[in-house]
Amino acid sequence: MTSLFGVYECNADAKGRVMLPVAFKKQLTKELKGGFVMKRSIFSKSLELYPMATWNEMVKEVNKLNKFVKKNVEFIRMFNYGVVSVELDSTGRLLIPKDLMTFAGINKNVTMAAAGDRVEVWDTAAYEQFINNSSADFEKLAEDVMGGIAPSEPEK
């Protein structure tokens, strides 16, 4: 599994095409040929870009849900709503569909931010607002999420 890093500002053209930052292309060299999946984020007005192999692994887990439980079926439906396959064109651009651009409030200024095994795609102003509003709570969040984890011992 790829562990991505970095935050990059880009521009979307009138058709919704955005150049994938060179740094991400280098980190995703193996994944470029396989294509990507783009979807709505669950917890924010942003988009998520998954390498196809990563997406397929996640879908395997989702498909294990019991389809005879109503909330599972509703989750699967909403999880897959708006999911599209995307590939880089010959110049290294991704085409963000209009409905996804509308969902994320993306017009021209785009921020692509690494989030572990995926890239979050935000309207730049919304990303900055989220980061600025969340940074004050990050200390508590870090303690709540990571505070109970004992550091691993160094390898010998």
The mean-pLDDT minimum among 41-45, 101-105, 121-125, 147-151 falls in: 147-151
| pLDDT greater at residue 137 or residue 90 | 90
Q: How far apart are CA 106 and CA 103, in angstroms?
A: 8
**For the packed helices 52-62 and 70-80, what is the interaxial angle rounded to 10 degrees?**
170
Q: Which CATH number fits domain 7-138: 3.40.50.620, 3.65.10.10, 3.30.830.10, 3.40.1550.20?
A: 3.40.1550.20
Contacts of 50 (CB under 8 A, 6+ apart): 36, 37, 38, 39, 58, 117, 118
Whole-structure pTM value = 0.88
Q: How far apart are CA 61 and CA 43, in angstroms?
A: 19
Q: What is the mean pLDDT of residues 77-92?
A: 93
Residue 149 has a pLDDT of 72
List the chain domain ranges.
7-138
Q: What DSSP letter does each residue of the chain carry, written as one string? A: ---B--EEEEEB-TT-EEEPPHHHHHHTTTTGGG-EEEEE-SSSSSEEEEEHHHHHHHHHHHTTS-TTSHHHHHHHHHHHTT-EEE---TTSEEEPPHHHHHHHT-SSEEEEEEEBTEEEEEEHHHHHHHHHHHGGGHHHHHHHHHTTSPPPPPP-
Q: What is the mean pLDDT of residues 26-40?
A: 92
Locate 107 and state its tokens: 């017009």
Q: How far apart are CA 9 and CA 123, in angstroms?
A: 10
Q: What is the mean pLDDT of residues 151-155?
A: 67
| Terminal Cα-to-Cα distance of the chain (whole angstroms) | 24
pLDDT tens per residue across span 115-138: 999 999 999 999 999 998 876 677
Residue 156 has a pLDDT of 60
